[in-house]
Structure 1
Amino acid sequence: MHFLASLGNCRVKQRDNRQVCVSFRYRRHDSISRAYRPGSMAEKGGNMRHYNWHDIMDGLIFPEGPRWHGDRLWFSDILNFKVHALEPVSGRTTCVAEMEDRPSGLGFLPDGRLLIATMGRRHLLRCDPAGTTLVADLSALCESTNDMTVDPSGRAYINAYFADGTGGLILVEPGGVSRIVATGMKLPNGMAVTADGSTLIVADFYGNAIHAFAISNDGSLGPRQLYADLGDRSPDGLCLDAEGAVWVGLPLQNRFERILPGGEVTSVIECGPRKAVACVLGGEDRRSLFLCMAEFPVERIKALMRNPRDAARHCRGWIGRADDIAIPGPP
């Protein structure tokens, strides 16, 4: 028996001018509404492993930025201006923030408070009990922002897109001081920091590559190093597993891949007609890979990001789940 969450049946519990808390009821299904099985989970083609998945949540528009924290899956629904937290065991979903701007990157401070990076206003916000607090205004540093990751000391690294069409990374200290720490990328996207806090891993969507940066004691980044050349594949959201391999979404190829340093692909999750947007390892034993997937017209996505009023007519999003992943996420 599987449970499928839907945003179509919701109850508003609490609202103020900055945040909204909504609980969603699960619909019980004797069979899942969508499951994708390209084959058995046995290894295929040498050491390549293919995993099956099933839906656990629908009714979204464009899910992104998944994070596993406190036994819940947290993610942004970018074009619906909301941040959600899903409890996979109980099936309860809570809308933890309803934004005035498109939320994207998420992260957590050492004390457990949620950080949200917004794309249009280029704000870094912190979720406090009384509402959202502005941590940093990045509008003077870049034209737009996207994904974010937070290191163990609470420093936030945020994608930055500049007026000349290039991309880089902005560092925001816990106190809100911000500076550009990397430039010269094409379209930085998904990011993760290794468990020991020593290395930042960054996907470059238009660069068709994944890069690695050594993190200095003051948060500065060393020279960009090539983690993996992806050829004609464009990487989006990613996460790391306990062995330091990357799970990454490849939206133009409609699949997720596990990639070792150097570029070897060891595992694949095919998404059928859906775009593979982002993923994160979580669950009780960190062996479930939660998948942000969407269907959208590729030729219109930039326009929809700028003007999301019509997004619900053109985009549809889901959260999927693949279980029994061989290598778990970091502890």
Structure 2
Amino acid sequence: MLVRQAKLSGGMKVFVQVACMILMALPTCTCLPQNYDDIDMSIDQPKGESVSISQSNPSSNAIHIGHNNPDGSDISISQTNPYNTSVHISMNVGKDTKVKVEMTEGVNVQLHVSFNGMTNSECEIMVAGCFNCSVHASFQNPVNTPVKVTMDDAKVSFLHVSQNIPTSSDMEVTMNNPVNSQIHISQAVPRSSSLTWMLNGDADKNQVHVSQNAADGNSDLNCTPDCPQPENEYSYDYYGDESSNAVEPPPPPPPPPKPQRKQQNNNNRNNQRNNSGNRRNGNNGGRNNNKNKAGGQGRSENPKSSNSGFQGQKGFTTKDAQGCPGGSLEACNQGCPTNYGSRVTQVCQTVCKKRC
């Protein structure tokens, strides 16, 4: 062993020593023990619920807070130097609720905040000095629910903030000095809801996507620097607006053509055979052709015979089914089911009245 070590160069010796030190320190730095218990606070229809959580140097723990139909909830979470932690906050169909999250100097941190159908609420997220962090905030159908997100000194991190059909719910997102990070900011169908995006730093060192789709005239888009919008930008006009470019909904598609009856196709084939026979056999073929034509006409004049007896109504045809089922209002009403209750019967009779 000593002989082999002597043959190593000075640079190789330094490399081997550093590699050994990394291997010795790896189990202690990647598997920090959990120093806070996991928190799970799921409450149904809370009123005036207040949640305040403050943690210093948390590691390998998770926080989950879910309120269904909250009314006046106040949620505040603060983490300093979090490592390998996860925070999830979800508010579903509530009002007058405040959510505030602060994270400082985080490493391997995940934060997920979701609002669904919240009214007269607000959300504020502040993240400073994070490495390999993921922040995801989504808001579905918010009303009078602004959101503000600030993320500073993010490295190798991911930020996603989105609103779907917000109403009077402004969104403001600011990032300072991000490096090697992916940023996605979007609004879909905003109504009186502005989007403000500001990046202080080198935008070329990050992958940035900012979009606002189908916005009304009261939803401003403000970007610093300019928004990296796609090359093809489309303007939308709402049906019913006074704009001359308003697009009406397309007409309904025409009904499919009625399929020809099989017996008619057979008559055509018989006529072709008889015509060829007429050329071969003279008058005998002509008599056969006349017989087949007479038979085909007789069947085509009485199409009711193949569909008679539908729902107990004689003479019911395919043509009647596309208009008035049964051919008359009385027949249609008699065909309505009675074993599913009076409500179903009334609906069926109403349809018969409209179609007959």
The TM-score by the shorter chain falls in which range?
A: under 0.3
Higher relative CO (Cα under 8 Å, sequence separation at least 6) belongs to 1
Higher-Rg member (1/2): 2
Q: Name the structure with the higher strand share.
A: 1
TM-score by length of 1: 0.22
Q: Name the structure with the higher helix share.
A: 2
TM-score by length of 2: 0.20
